[in-house]
Structure 1
């Protein structure tokens, strides 16, 4: 489906040793890229990834480079001859970033600025930034820095020449076990209730496969400055916990303990705000948020404008059975 944009291309993945990197390498094995560069600052994760890829066909064209998006010089060097950049490097743990917000500024904002500059300087053709629903009306430092990352990728500050920049935005990724699953495993092992922040808390859910397909879709369809959003179902976090507990313990009604909302958390997340809906084009499976033009629209002053925001509390919730089916498919529980 994406042969024309991925085959025979040199591809760079920043922050490529995380779940996103593993999945995109898996998806790229269906195509014929010329080379793939994994750029990250964690040598141990790189070594582990090398070992895991050693037996796979894609490992023959995969190169690992130690570096940090905070360092422009290393980005400039690694971007030589690159056709496509997937920019996934970020600090994204909400509670941690609340404690150390300026570290997120250095990675998520200044690092993204460096990615843009290096890509333009090296003549990269396509650059896609991975963003989050927490960037919409952000209340936490992580979301604020990711919102500014999106602004940087849409900015007219840079003479972009022929480089096309865009972003993708999605919610929680189901294909990544993340930090909550080991915690729940330990609680179940000790016969303790599963901690859940709030009974009404909801989140958008997307599989890793769908997240990567959104990235490929963005490369194929971007003209410059768009934010691509895939339509996604939502779930109550308590239902996610119940589904996981049922699969692991084979017991219904496993005890849940409500522990309260952490600093920087919302009850519901937004993928598109009502303001952005003014510029959003709806497709069958996606929304494309066009870049806002900075001119007055006199006609809009006479219109009654009302757009519904795209909230995780206002879309179809996945049932416990649906969540269990997805978890089985993704091998969350062996």
Structure 2
């Protein structure tokens, strides 16, 4: 009944709410006057005097007018604050003064103590009513609000609580915190509980969402918290940074699922300043593929190292426009004296590349431009090879001619014993850089090899999330498939430092940690969405009328679709067996085989000729015979290859 009344009050128009407040305050003032008269020892007979009621007709309307002028009714009760309580105190003091004047004017025989007692009573009742209404409104489960628990009762948790109380989507019911000194205390009107009691709290309050407010925790600590929460039947979400909320760049309602870094990431190793700045500070730096996942993060970190000029080389107009604007805003906000040069172009264009290097005097190149999606490159072999291999050759040749100091190739773990054309193209690109290093010594070439990065374009993580949001199924290619993962910021930081370690022809391998089973990753994403998973047998239908309808085993199905063309069950980082440590704990150097420059030139000439002829079969034979370890896993999937080419149409006759 109380909830129904509150809901009705909240639905009233603002003018009606103010009129109701005025009426309630008038009644409070009247009752406070009557009570103060009795408490001050006044005679009950005074109530029968005409002057007594005339004084009421004077001081009550005047007091309400004062309240209006002071802004009593402009403030929203739900957001009651200390300044409003001070305004109430001022209004009550003014009202008591008006009461005293009215009693004297009407010559009502009352003790002088009536006014202070009235003021104290009115202050307690007026303030108390508003505080009570505020508490009821904060606890009132408005239809559609979701009860949540906040994990973290520190400063950020308290700020989150205040922000949640100012919007209508969530209603916080409790805190949990790992700090023993906070447990069983009250923070902002909510009790703080031991995380061990989470399961019971979820049952009692019907919790569906837990919000993380622990921004100061290390990544290892956050991962430990997430691992604890993923066992519970709740969705785990986190908030934007409080700085973004306060500055208006984000709202508390902009909640998002736990970052995948909290599942797989590790605490970053601080960058070594000499390595971070070695190839960048005061220099002209170019990033090819600047608009891509790795390229854009390289640019964000490079700009912090104070280059003289940053040349953004990108084929996509939209990606270049977006990145240039973002970097410009960063430079302006942080007062960085960096010149940004946005250049549209393909790395396959030798004249434009040579002109850019000469025109701007480029000293360091981070070559991140590449086609990297395995299935797409399998379906578009010629363009994959031309961009990844011959684009790298264009960059290498132009860099040597222009006297560039350092060229760092962003490579891939798929270059090791490749089973697909993407991996083969990246291994050939490595060989191009190794040959360039052997031909001369003025330009230092190096290659940095690592595995998958979290959150990159085409990453499996966003796809899994989308499939969960649609109700499933979540598709995994094989039950045993594993991959290495690294966050984009960590990968970019290590690429920068590896380049500064190079002496010429180096192949650097990044420490990727332990490989992750993709099906386990899918399981965790489903659980963190507050759902349960069940697995279909490999080959079982997951769409259409034959798909299973009974979800008693779980909410979201995980089905296995089979390995795609060229896909491996697991990836490797080393061709040989040995790697050596470097000055950085997460960067190793490997001694890899290379091809003599002249022999490589002959191979590339043959590959280019077959590319020009669109001869996919010849390309596969040629690259399989090359000493790069390429072993295709099946027939070509190229959309223009022999196996997939449509039958030729008969030429029309002149008569037609």
Q: Is residue 2:333 matched to residue 1:66?
A: no
Q: Is residue 2:295 matched to residue 1:15?
A: no
Residues in 1 aligned to 2:300 and 2:497: alpha-carbon distance in whole angstroms: 16
Q: Deviations 1:126-162 (Å, cap 9, x if unpaired)?
A: 0000110110000100101100000011015863341
Alignment check: 8 A CA contact 2:373 2:458 kept: no
Partner of 1:183: 463
Residues in 2 aligned to 1:87 and 1:97: alpha-carbon distance in whole angstroms: 19
Residues in 2 aligned to 1:10 and 1:54: alpha-carbon distance in whole angstroms: 17
Q: Please give the secondary structure, in 2, of the residue aligned with 1:36.
A: strand
Tell me the CA shift for residue 293 of structure 1. 7.9
Partner of 1:77: 355
Residues in 2 aligned to 1:122 and 1:170: alpha-carbon distance in whole angstroms: 29
Question: What is the 5 A alignment of 1:147-166?
Answer: 147-155=427-435, 159-166=439-446
Partner of 1:48: 322
* Structure-1-length-normalised TM-score: 0.81
Partner of 2:490: 210
- Of 282, 289, 297 in structure 1, the residue corresponding to residue 590 of structure 2 is 289
Residues in 2 aligned to 1:232 and 1:90: alpha-carbon distance in whole angstroms: 21
- Of 118, 133, 136 in structure 1, the residue corresponding to residue 416 of structure 2 is 136
Partner of 2:312: 38
Q: Please give the secondary structure, in 2, of the residue aligned with 1:70.
A: coil
CA RMSD of aligned residues (A): 2.1
C-alpha distance 113-239 of structure 1, shift in aligned 2 (>3 A): same
C-alpha distance 169-3 of structure 1, shift in aligned 2 (>3 A): same
Q: Please give the secondary structure, in 2, of the residue aligned with 1:155.
A: helix
Question: What is the 5 A alignment of 1:1-334?
Answer: 1=273, 2-57=276-331, 61-80=339-358, 81-155=361-435, 159-176=439-456, 178-233=458-513, 234-247=515-528, 249-253=529-533, 254-273=556-575, 276-278=576-578, 280-283=579-582, 284-290=585-591, 292=593
Residues in 1 aligned to 2:337 and 2:295: alpha-carbon distance in whole angstroms: 13
Q: Please give the secondary structure, in 2, of the residue aligned with 1:167.
A: strand
Alignment check: 8 A CA contact 2:354 2:398 kept: yes
Q: Please give the secondary structure, in 2, of the residue aligned with 1:271.
A: coil
Residues in 1 aligned to 2:442 and 2:277: alpha-carbon distance in whole angstroms: 21
C-alpha distance 225-199 of structure 1, shift in aligned 2 (>3 A): same
C-alpha distance 292-263 of structure 1, shift in aligned 2 (>3 A): closer
Tell me the CA shift for residue 176 of structure 1. 2.3
Alignment check: 8 A CA contact 2:287 2:368 kept: yes
Q: Deviations 1:279-315 (Å, cap 9, x if unpaired)?
A: x3234423201355889xxxxxxxxxxxxxxxxxxxx
Residues in 2 aligned to 1:146 and 1:7: alpha-carbon distance in whole angstroms: 29
Partner of 2:13: none
Q: Deviations 1:212-238 (Å, cap 9, x if unpaired)?
A: 122122221101111111111210111
Residues in 1 aligned to 2:415 and 2:561: alpha-carbon distance in whole angstroms: 25
C-alpha distance 175-189 of structure 1, shift in aligned 2 (>3 A): closer
Residues in 2 aligned to 1:161 and 1:282: alpha-carbon distance in whole angstroms: 24
C-alpha distance 272-198 of structure 1, shift in aligned 2 (>3 A): same
Residues in 2 aligned to 1:85 and 1:20: alpha-carbon distance in whole angstroms: 14
Q: Please give the secondary structure, in 2, of the residue aligned with 1:195.
A: strand
Q: Please give the secondary structure, in 1, of the residue aligned with 2:573.
A: strand
* Structure-2-length-normalised TM-score: 0.42
Alignment check: 8 A CA contact 1:84 1:125 kept: yes
When Rg is computed on C-alpha atoms for both structures, the one with the higher figure is 2
Aligned residues: 291
C-alpha distance 202-52 of structure 1, shift in aligned 2 (>3 A): same
Bigger fraction of residues in strand: 1
Bigger fraction of residues in helix: 2
C-alpha distance 195-240 of structure 1, shift in aligned 2 (>3 A): same
Q: Deviations 1:103-144 (Å, cap 9, x if unpaired)?
A: 111101111110110000100000000110110000100101
Q: Please give the secondary structure, in 2, of the residue aligned with 1:124.
A: coil
Higher mean C-alpha deviation, range 210-219 or range 76-85? 210-219
Q: Deviations 1:78-106 (Å, cap 9, x if unpaired)?
A: 11211100000111111111111111111
Alignment check: 8 A CA contact 1:39 1:66 kept: yes
Residues in 1 aligned to 2:391 and 2:343: alpha-carbon distance in whole angstroms: 16
Alignment check: 8 A CA contact 2:510 2:588 kept: yes
Higher mean C-alpha deviation, range 213-222 or range 175-184? 175-184
Residues in 1 aligned to 2:390 and 2:362: alpha-carbon distance in whole angstroms: 21
Q: Please give the secondary structure, in 1, of the residue aligned with 2:329.
A: coil
Partner of 2:99: none
